[in-house]
Each structure stands twice: as C-alpha cells, then as structure tokens.
Structure 1
C-alpha cells in the first residue's frame, strides 16, 4: 500500500477560508486601488507628463550643453546656448500609455489567489522602473540627436531608433513584470 503525502503547499491551500469575504478583501481593495491609479494616470496625464518632463530635463542636462529645465510637460534644454529647444511630451510620447495597462494587469493578477501580493508588487515595481527609465532614455536620445545633428537627428531619434528602443524596452518591462509575477518555481521533493 502506498503512502500518500500532502505537501505543505497543499495543506495551506486546503486551509484557505472558502467563501470568506474578509480573506479576499485586501486583494480586492489593492486591485481597486491599482485600477483607480491606472484610470487616474490617464485622466491626469498632464500632471504625469509634467513629472516625466522634470525627470527628462534633469537627464538631458547631463548630455546636452547648457541648462535644462521643465515647464509643464515641456523639457527645455540648451538654455544659455545659441540653440535652446524644448521637447513637448505628448500623450503618445508618454510612458502613461504603457504604465496604465501595466497597473490594470497587476490589478487583475491580485484578484487571483495564485499570485502572492508581495510578488505582484515587486514585479510591478520592476516593470514600472524599466518602462519609465526607457522613456526617459528615449527622450534624452531625441534631445541629443536634435542638439548634435539638427532636425535629421531629431527625426531619426523620434521616429526611428528611439521609438524602436522604446518599444523593445516597453515589451521587456511587461515581460519582466509577467515573469516576476509568477514567482520562483520550486522543485518538488521526490
């Protein structure tokens, strides 16, 4: 006769309060907060784009001569030089269009007990960081191209290699989020 062993994970799963609202309530609240953040980021995208412009102006100041600052959603650079310019961060150039779906996906994962809350938030932080940094790097690439190569450099960075870089980085951010959300696989004991 074979002896059947129950793993600790299965024991834990069997002890979950079935149908308990209070056992599931924190997940619902956190998911609602993330979904709300996604919607609010889109509604108040002008504010978010202002933050992006501020971060981008700081980063641009390291690679383009002159001073850089932001005003609203525009990152100005080359101030104090012969060619001051500004990059307007529009809705389509903002990381908000990728961050909002990421927040919604995290909210959906939180509603499934299979995903640990802490793991989803760590994955969300990693994906968020990759996406935001990629967009800032893209904006810096546009400023650098424009400053050093004129409109041809602007067009190449804005519609060419800068956009390709951003798309690949955004996809990488989503993949990292999804991969980290699943957590580590544990080898079964034999």
Structure 2
C-alpha cells in the first residue's frame, strides 16, 4: 500500500476518464493499489469528482460494476495505443453505459432565478449517471487528437497526456526509469 497516493498523471485534471483509468496502480515489487478497491473508496472517488454525494452509500455490487467499466476503458486505451482493434465487449460496455441515462440536460425553472439546465439524476441512478459521465469522457478522449500514452516506467500501468518530453506519469516513475537506464549502462551484459 502507498504511504501517500501518487499525484494525478498529466492530463488527469482535464480528462475524468484518464483519472478513472488510473485508479488501478501497479507498483514496483509486485505491489498493486486499487483506489476503487472497496465501496467506501468508490464513494470517496465519486464524491471527489462530483459524481455522487459524500453519503451516497455505494454498495459492493456498484463498486464491482465501476471496476469492470474501468477495465473496459483501460482496454480501449490500450487498443488505441497499440493501434489494434478494440475488444467488442469493451465497446459494448462503454456504449451501454452511455445509453443508460439521458445525456441532454433538461430545462428547469426556478421561481427566483429563472431558467437553468440540469441533468436528471434520481438517487437510484447515481451509479448509471457516474458510469455514463465517465464513459462519455472516455469516448471524447479516445476520439480526440490528444496524444494519449502509457507511462514508460516499468511496471507502471498508468496513462497520461504527455507534455514536452515527459513520458512518465509522475516524478517517482521518471526517477525509477532513469535509474534503471543508468544501471543498465553500468552493468555488463
């Protein structure tokens, strides 16, 4: 387990789906951190991203569905990076999430402030709303011209939007990759 969470990967502040995909983190020495590992952490992540209230009381079934969506989105990211066909099950999962709720915000009217737009989200549809929002963002990222890449540090499995010459999701991964290169140069084959 991490003492302190890794900072968000470059681009995660802009792309919700990128931040979501990076909630499964592979670390050195075979360690693995799942930021959606239990219902409480799922609830915290959703609340931190304004997809659910702090007291949404996410249950394990919902957490499992969200983790499954994450793996489908990660699969689509990997397919894009490999320039390979997407798995039909991953496409189906994202498209199913996209069609579960209306995407157009409805016109509402407040007697004091007047008209405004808001998406309907009854409390029994919080998970569907979150999954649709994440899926829509993933579809936007996959169809954008953003240069999505995988972190180049082994064994890191996070994705990022590179800027400049940086090809790592964090300073920690960059340091690890540079140390591995230096070690490889010094070590005879």
- Scaled by the length of structure 2, the TM-score of the pair is 0.29
- Scaled by the length of structure 1, the TM-score of the pair is 0.29
Is the helix fraction higher in 1 or 2?
1
Computing the radius of gyration over CA atoms, which structure comes out larger, 1 or 2? 1
